[in-house]
Amino acid sequence: MKTLLICEYREGKLLESSYELVAFADKLGAEKAMVLIGKEAEVPKVNGKLYLADVAKYGEYKPDLHKKIVLEAVKKEDPDAIVFLHSSYGWDLAPRVAAALKAGQVSEIVSINEGKFEVGLCNAKLRRTVTPQTGKMVLTIQAGAFNVAGDPQGKAQIEKIDLPDAVSPLEFVGYEPAQKKEVDLARAEVVVSAGRGVGKKENVAIIAALAKALGGELGASRPVVDAGWVEHSRQVGTTGQIVAPKLYVACGISGAIQHVAGMKKSEFVVAINKDKDAPIGEVADVLVVADVMQFVPALTAMLQK
Ligand SMILES: Cc1cc2nc3c(=O)[nH]c(=O)nc-3n(C[C@H](O)[C@H](O)[C@H](O)COP(=O)(O)OP(=O)(O)OC[C@H]3O[C@@H](n4cnc5c(N)ncnc54)[C@H](O)[C@@H]3O)c2cc1C
């Protein structure tokens, strides 16, 4: 199989997440070529062909022109799969490319199983396996699902792409920072997060007390935020904040991929879960198999001594 990986570039920099596309192709055992609308100084350190279009001409995002550039690279490479990140860039551009190619699209792939793609359903509680039936396919991959091992060391073989007819009625204006967050979890050295396993809103105070005893901030998984137990600015994960503390403590959190994507850069992870097989155990340095409501108050009391 041959893949064409659509790398991402933002505010003058290659996005590190572009390497997740490479990890995906490697896991698939596929050949890879890449596309970047960016600058030569910021190309991915990966061996293989890279089609480079100049961001000064095409903007960081002009959907009509970016689609044309991807299609031009498709013409040259004839890939079986065109792969995007499931990001705001990818989820806008991928369907445009799929429609132009009349290709089937599979969105938000979290895993590969014997060459088939696994995607979540029922709020990621279940997974289904999908294989497009079209000759070419367009794929988007979930952030954090495919990770590169080690520092990338390769050198891309660059081929420039320029469109003769590069006029767009759209103008890329820039980015506006999201509203200032009440809490900047991204800078916290310790984050202690409450998951659905804490049971009810009143119990969140017990997790917050541990966060305070450790000199850290309270975080939360999405169901806890959706239930209104904790404000959204404390949500960790793909639709919350990305954190990288020295210590992350996950209390009653199962370890769904969308949560792990937000905390996997933590230096040391302690998970407290009554289920010894909870997936959070795969990313935890220490898994404490216990009831959070018994273990956490005891730990906090010890720390306060
Ligand atoms: C598009 C999309 C985006 C998403 N974005 C995010 C996101 O940004 N952040 C996020 O967190 N999720 C996100 N999710 C949701 C995610 O898929 C999971 O549903 C969610 O992370 C699960 O939260 P949880 O681990 O708290 O709950 P659950 O999965 O229900 O896990 C609860 C855990 O608590 C344990 N437990 C129960 N009782 C106790 C007890 N008394 N003591 C100890 N352990 C106990 C259980 O064994 C279980 O492992 C997203 C989903 C989708 C589809």
| CATH number (domain holding residue 138) | 3.40.50.620
Give the pLDDT of residue 134.
86
The mean pLDDT of 233-252, rounded to a whole number, is 94
- 146 and 206 co-located in one domain: no
Query: How many Å lie between the centroid of ligand 1 and the Cα of residue 213?
Result: 24
pLDDT beyond 90 at 126: no
- Cα distance between residue 10 and residue 220, in whole Å: 28
Backbone dihedral angles phi then psi of residue 107, each to the nearest 5 degrees: -105, 145
159 vs 45, 50, 103, 127, 201, CA distance in Å? 15, 6, 25, 38, 56
- 16 and 136 co-located in one domain: yes
pLDDT-derived band at 237 (thresholds 50, 70, 90) equals very high
Burial letters for 141-180: b for 16+ Cβ neighbours within 10 Å, e otherwise? bbbbbbebeeebeeebeeeebeeeeeeeeeeeeeeeeeee
- Cα distance between residue 190 and residue 188, in whole Å: 5
pLDDT beyond 70 at 179: no
Give the pLDDT of residue 123.
66
Domain that includes residue 83, residue range: 2-160
- 229 and 126 co-located in one domain: no
pLDDT-derived band at 183 (thresholds 50, 70, 90) equals confident
pLDDT digits (tens, 9 = 90+) for 39-77: 999 999 999 999 999 999 999 999 999 999 999 999 999
- 219 and 295 co-located in one domain: yes
- 118 and 189 co-located in one domain: no
Testing ligand 1's pocket by substitution, the residue of 196, 206, 224, 235 carrying the most ligand atoms inside 8 A of its CB is 196
Report the nearest atom of ligand 1 relative to the CA of 292.
Answer: 42
Write out residues with Cβ below 6 Å of ligand 1.
120, 123-124, 195-197, 221-224, 235-240, 252-254, 256, 258-259, 262, 272-275, 278, 291-293
